[in-house]
Structure 1
Amino acid sequence: MSSRLLSLVVVLVASLSFAQSKLQVKVLTASPEGFLVNSTLVSGAKDAVLVDAAFTVADAHRLVAAVLDSHKNLTHIYVTHGHPDHYFGAEVLKAAFPKAKLVALPETVAEIQKTAKAKVAQWKPLYGNNLTDKPLVPEVLKAKSLTLEGETLELVGPVQGDSEHNTAVWIPSLKTVIAGDVVYSGVHPWTAETRAESRKAWAATLDALAARGPTAVVPGHQKAELTSDPAAMGFVKTYLVDFDAAVASSKTAEEVQTKVKAKYPDLALDVIVKIGAEAQFAPAK
């Protein structure tokens, strides 16, 4: 190889490395009261995008502080799906950053419009002033991507995760998946809105995300001390198999809970497995 060609290769590799590291990702995990839900701040040199907006007023204020500390201009708040723990905090964020656009894909917006009032009625009595009573509805995104300082944030979905219309964010330059509630880490996955067939589809979603070869995967919920390890995708697949086995071999929700907790004694959010187990024995709607 000539010295000139070698120099050209070095320049190209250096340029590629710079392109891959232009954006930065910071994972912000909410309190246990906020179900340990993750919000993710994706930052460039000047601007930033926040993925998911937390649940409680207190956790949303902590997100505001994190954005302020970043000294970035928040351009968008993207909501991965219509569960309230991913968008109820948007009211606080929009008050702090009125120029930031609150956005989601059409299926997410439709679900929020359909369920927001009922979700307030369900959770407000438990949380009081720590929960909004007027959740904001995102604007509909027509494109399946966002652009941050020339970099593409690909919006993957809707896909089956813990509910039918989940989405994930794929950042090619970082080989990073912000997985929404397709992936969990260190906590019980939400299974209340799934049945055996939809859990198979959930596993297929995990396979599809894994096929992209991510080096980092941000779960929708996690223990705060954990990292964005792609192995969390395998954990969820195994958990779903074990959950199915527990349901198939049990006559009551209590039996399911006992078996799942025995298999996974160290996972956080026990209330999630309780609700999920009870849902498997509830009459079909």
Structure 2
Amino acid sequence: MQGKVETLEHPDVKIHIYTPPDEGFLVNTTIFELADRLIVVDGQIFQRFAREVGDLIEDLRKPIDRFVLTHNHPDHYSGFEHLTQRFPGVQLAALTSVRDYLVRTGQKVLDVRRGLFGEEIAKQLVVPDAVIVPGELVISGVRFLFQEFTDAEAEHTLTITLPDQGVALVSDLVGGTGDHLFTVQPHFDGWIAVLEKIRLDTARHGLKTLIVGHGASVGPDALPANIEYLKAAKAAYVSSAKADEFVAAVSASMPGRAPEAWLNFSSQMLYGHIAP
């Protein structure tokens, strides 16, 4: 296996977080292993890493309740082509807003990504066939809180909180303290407001672990650094007419952040050269 797996063990649930190597953008697929079933969240960008997720699922030897997509960016949904073919009959669930976006635009975005990355990108979009309604749900004795956030890293993002375990899957809304964030759209103020809401939620629920969209899990102490980054990125965007100017301005104001490739790729979307 090229990727690595981190496992968080709690009463009534194990949480397995698969992370591919750097070349796979460190996109996380999270598997909630309950007593009698699995819930698999997000599906990788490249098919070879989706296959490794499939191997991990098979090793757990439990049926998949459903696949879940947190938001409408192809680094999280491309791999569902492989996973839904490998595990036929398993529904793919998403927010209604995410499903609607994919119906309108998802295939076009995949086609652009195939032009950039080749056949490792899915050829055919998998449209979610089940809807997630925000709210609280008890599954196999474990409380799940599903929330929708808008106008942040993506137009609509699903978060999944396990209040009794002190864990929240926040996807691309949060990054590591030393990471560049994926500022693919100029939703800086909206995103900062979302992070302030998440900060309140972490205190309300006593959350200790935030499972992010890319790379290692973080604690609530990462939130101020994320807000600082977004303020710097907003200032860079206001003062920059072109993508390369934005990259230079962010690098100058946030010199310790990495990897540079994330910043460069994000800028191409922020300035409309390729679709998010």
TM range (shorter): 0.7 to 0.9
> Paired residue for 1:206?
198
Matched position secondary structure for 2:185: coil
Q: Deviations over 1:247-275 (max 9, x none)?
A: 34556543432232234444334233234
Q: Would the aligned equivalents of 1:78 and 1:104 in 2 still touch at CA under 8 Å? A: yes
> Paired residue for 2:41?
51
> Paired residue for 1:110?
100
**2:147 counterpart of 1:156:** yes
Q: State the shift of 1:72 in Å.
A: 2.4
Change (3 A) 1:56 1:26: same
The code of the aligned residue for 1:44 comes to: L
> What TM-score, normalized by structure 2, do the two folds share?
0.84
Q: Would the aligned equivalents of 2:145 and 2:161 in 1 still touch at CA under 8 Å? A: yes
> Paired residue for 1:14?
none
> Paired residue for 1:137?
127
> What TM-score, normalized by structure 1, do the two folds share?
0.81
Change (3 A) 1:279 1:77: closer
Q: State the shift of 1:240 in Å.
A: 0.6
Count residues with an aligned counterpart: 261
Instruction: State the distance in 2 between where 1:39 and 1:159 align.
Output: 21
Change (3 A) 1:50 1:198: same
Runs of at least 5 residues in structure 1 that lack an aligned partner in the other structure: 1-19
**2:210 counterpart of 1:220:** no
The percent identity for this pair of structures is: 25
Instruction: State the distance in 1 between where 2:164 and 2:42 align.
Output: 21
The code of the aligned residue for 1:198 comes to: G
- Cα-Cα RMSD: 2.5
Equivalent of 2:170, from 161, 179, 182? 179
Instruction: State the distance in 2 between where 1:271 and 1:139 align.
Output: 34
Q: State the shift of 1:147 in Å.
A: 4.5
Q: How does 1:1-80 map to 2 (within 5 A)?
A: 21-80=11-70
Matched position secondary structure for 1:173: helix
Q: State the shift of 1:181 in Å.
A: 1.4
Runs of at least 5 residues in structure 2 that lack an aligned partner in the other structure: 1-9
Higher gyration radius (CA):
1
The worse-fitting range, judged by mean Cα deviation, of 139-148 and 46-55 is: 139-148
The worse-fitting range, judged by mean Cα deviation, of 270-279 and 83-92 is: 270-279
Q: State the shift of 1:277 in Å.
A: 4.2
> Paired residue for 1:120?
110
Q: State the shift of 1:211 in Å.
A: 3.9
Q: Would the aligned equivalents of 1:182 and 1:206 in 2 still touch at CA under 8 Å? A: no
Instruction: State the distance in 2 between where 1:53 and 1:216 align.
Output: 21
Q: Would the aligned equivalents of 2:192 and 2:227 in 1 still touch at CA under 8 Å? A: no
